[in-house]
């Protein structure tokens, strides 16, 4: 059974920006703020190396910024933190907790996403449990996260029957974005392609142009 999209209107499309590991909260906000005005669809807070206190501080600060700019904030791997800061939702990997429990905790209006790697069956199970978007990858080599699993564009097409937004992640550049969109990606998720660029604002604009092709 497909989980309904929680927001009114069409399902989201565009750039799904994921934060880099940044220990200085003020610097993190300074890096993120100018990018949100460029048309980012969602922002995910992800900082695997941070302790609970820093994660709480940064999530609260980013949530305030996202409220100001109208960009939904999604918390990586921690449904309780998402609820505590009133974020729009949570993204869960295979070791990050139970999707049904996150849905119950956050409510029907929340965005709940799941990493499905290169597995269509995992995506079916995630949606049945309450996820309302699924993410596949890595599609290309990436330095942002260690991965041994490689998704193919055909997987995006095969997942269309799930009826939920499909996110592509892993080594995505403006040059390879159009092929993924053509295969069925609704959103492309990016960390290094923006935050490691010489001109992050320019990088966001380049991704948006690629998404519109």
Residue 9: which pLDDT band, with cuts at 50, 70 and 90? low
Residues 6+ apart with CB under 8 A from 134: 113, 114, 116, 123, 126, 127, 159, 162, 164, 165, 166, 167
Q: Are 130 and 107 in contact (CB under 8 A)?
A: no
Active site residue 13: no
Report how far residue 98's alpha carbon sits from residue 115's, in angstroms, rounded to the nearest whole number: 12
6 CB burial (10 A radius; 0-12, 13-18, 19+)? middle
Domain enclosing residue 197, as ranges:
14-212
47 part of a folded domain? yes
- Name the catalytic one among 31, 145, 150, 205: 145
Give the model's pLDDT for residue 144.
Answer: 61
147 CB burial (10 A radius; 0-12, 13-18, 19+)? middle
**86 or 141, greater pLDDT:** 86
Give the model's pLDDT for residue 75.
Answer: 98
Statement: residue 142 has pLDDT above 80: no
Q: Does the reported pTM lie above 0.75?
A: yes
7 part of a folded domain? no
**Of how many residues is the chain composed?**
213
Residues 6+ apart with CB under 8 A from 154: 183
Give the model's pLDDT for residue 55.
Answer: 98
Statement: residue 52 has pLDDT above 70: yes
151 part of a folded domain? yes
Split into its structural domains, the chain has a count of 1
Active site residue 48: no
- Name the catalytic one among 3, 55, 103, 115: 115
119 part of a folded domain? yes
Q: What is the share, in percent, of the chain residues with pLDDT greater than 70?
A: 93
Question: If we measure between CA atoms, which residue out of 174, 164, 171, 176 comes closest to residue 199?
Answer: 174
Q: How many CB atoms lie within 10 A of CB 195?
A: 19
pLDDT digits (tens, 9 = 90+) for 204-213: 999 999 999 8
Q: Which of 35-44, 135-144, 189-198 has the lowest average pLDDT? A: 135-144
Q: Which of 37-41, 133-137, 149-153 has the lowest average pLDDT? A: 149-153
Statement: residue 8 has pLDDT above 60: no
Q: How many CB atoms lie within 10 A of CB 152?
A: 12
Statement: residue 203 has pLDDT above 80: yes
169 part of a folded domain? yes
Active site residue 145: yes
- Name the catalytic one among 46, 55, 103, 166: 46
136 part of a folded domain? yes
pLDDT digits (tens, 9 = 90+) for 76-121: 999 999 999 999 999 999 887 899 999 999 999 999 999 999 999 9
5 part of a folded domain? no
Residue 4: which pLDDT band, with cuts at 50, 70 and 90? very low
Give the model's pLDDT for residue 5.
Answer: 58
pLDDT digits (tens, 9 = 90+) for 155-193: 999 999 999 999 999 999 999 999 999 999 999 999 999
User: Quick one: which H or E segment has residue 34?
Assistant: helix 25-36
9 part of a folded domain? no
Residue 162: DSSP 8-state: G
CATH number of the domain bearing residue 120: 3.20.20.70
């Amino acid at each position: 059974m497909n989980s309904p999209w929680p927001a009114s209107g069409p399902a989201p499309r565009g750039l799904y920006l994921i934060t880099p590991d940044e220990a200085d909260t003020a610097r993190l906000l300074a890096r993120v703020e100018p990018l949100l005005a460029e048309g980012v669809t969602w922002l995910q807070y992800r900082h695997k190396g941070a302790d609970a206190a820093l994660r709480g501080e940064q999530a609260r600060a980013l949530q305030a910024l996202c409220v100001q700019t109208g960009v939904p904030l999604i918390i990586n791997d921690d449904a309780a933190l998402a609820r505590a800061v009133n974020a729009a939702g949570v993204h869960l990997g295979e070791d990050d907790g139970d999707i049904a429990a996150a849905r119950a905790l956050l409510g029907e209006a929340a965005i709940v996403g799941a990493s499905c790697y290169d597995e269509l069956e995992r995506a079916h199970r995630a949606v049945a449990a309450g996820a309302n978007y699924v993410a596949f990858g890595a599609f290309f080599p990436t330095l942002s996260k260690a991965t041994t699993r490689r998704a193919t564009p055909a997987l995006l097409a095969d997942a269309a029957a799930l009826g939920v937004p499909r996110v592509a992640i892993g080594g995505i550049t403006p040059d390879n974005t159009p092929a993924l969109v053509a295969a069925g990606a609704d959103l492309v998720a990016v960390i290094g392609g923006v935050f490691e660029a010489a001109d992050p604002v320019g990088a966001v604009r380049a991704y948006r142009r690629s998404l519109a092709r």
